[in-house]
Structure 1
Amino acid sequence: MTVKLIASDMDDTLLNSNTKISERNAAAIHKAIAKGIVFMIATGRMYVSVKPYADALGLDVPLVTYNGALVKGSKSGKVYYEHPLKLDTALELLAYCKEKGYYIQSYQGDELWVKEETVFSAEYERISGIKAKPVGEKLYHPEVAPYKLLAMTKPEEFQKVWQDIQQKFAGKVTVTSSRDNFLELMEPGVNKWNAVKAVAASYGIRPEEVMCIGDSNNDLSMIENAGIGVAVANAKPAVQAAAELVTASNDEDGVAEVIERFTL
């Protein structure tokens, strides 16, 4: 099978444990691009958090951000499409999380809104490199629909909060996770695969010519549907089970290994 487009998740996949792109990963990506293969990033992160990595790789492609809620050009800044949460749904979710005492943060434009600085917001800032904007009670009353909401919990409470929100908002929201305590909340139908597939189509590339690489639950949609779905060795068991193959871990240049195997 000919691979014409490669879409990789960022955290715990393309990035190592130090949130860096290794020299080997970068070299493999540049070689693939030189052969005419499209390489793109598909992430739950904010656009502003992804762009520096895309720039470092010299990418000139649409980037899938917010788990597919926004697809935006890495160099042009062109918005290819956006699917934010419905404002009414967002307001309902925010009110519910406030009532339950769940930590919630909102992505307004390319700003990260939090009620106040907490250990959760500090953890997110450390991982993403983005400074949160404390807005107090305004967090619960946005006037513009957010791209997504993200709830964070203690690890032992995660499954309970997931089930609680999923049952309460069944049919109104897509619920997935990117880390063991990150609960991602998007508009129904928003996922990485639908966004990657749309980008591929804009290049005239068929789904079976796409390779997708990831590690977590929010990568399942693209790993299950791509022509070649790849899990890194540190991926969750369910992701590894869904993948056609498992490459090395994110700390062992797994992205480079699979690119070298299939394209170089």
Structure 2
Amino acid sequence: MPAPSAAARYAVFGQPIAHSLSPRIHAAFGARLGIAIDYRAIEAGAGEFPARLAAFARDGGRGANVTLPLKQDALALCAALSDRARRAGSVNTLIRAGESWHGDSTDGAGLLRDLRDRHGFEPRDRRVLLLGAGGAARAAAFAFADAGARELVIANRTHARAAGLAQAIGAVASATALDALEALGRFDLVVNASAAGHAGASTALPRTLLDAHTLCYDLSYGKAAQPFLDAAREAGARRVSDGLGMLVEQAAESFAAWHGERPDTEPVHAALREG
């Protein structure tokens, strides 16, 4: 795929969006690879999103990322979907194809790459607890199943939503209520995929879920991840991480879909960690 012209535009849509690191990440990728990038953050709630995405396309938009709360809304606006987006039921990457959008989900691939490369965690034959059942959680759940997790337990405030996701995944997955966590035993990985941290809230983690080797990981980053990371430490976790690495890796997957080349992520990740 040829490099885009200087006029080609890219963006991230969400609400709130001012905090997003995506423009900085894609600018850094472009600078490293010599590709001119016009990548902006566009504020849009669910009601405004279709019109703002259409206006973006008319203005030359060639690709976009989608974050909270629009990942499932984005799926409905796509004329075609990748297999992983269809299975996850959410889209975080939009690719302009003619007069329509092609939707993909790079969250799962980004999460697995960060877990493996930065945390030395291989999901195969491991026991995983996933908190949440929304768009990002669905992408993570299918990624863990595809990676060979031995058991995937999904806990969500609305049990029916967790049960629906577990049923879609198959025998490796089961659903439970948030107030039943204490009886589940130890997990190798606990992943917070809920949006509670964005409101400053977090689910309490029973100590029975963890030991010294358990990795506790929040898909969010920065302030939104802090409540869960604090709760994990309070429960005795020694290994905790936010999702900054996942953010960078899923962005690299999107970048490759748009520009035909996957950037080296480590220098960009290190720069973001340094602030």
TM over 0.5: no
TM-score, normalisation: structure 1: 0.39
Larger RCO, structures 1/2 (Cα 8 Å, 6+ apart): 1
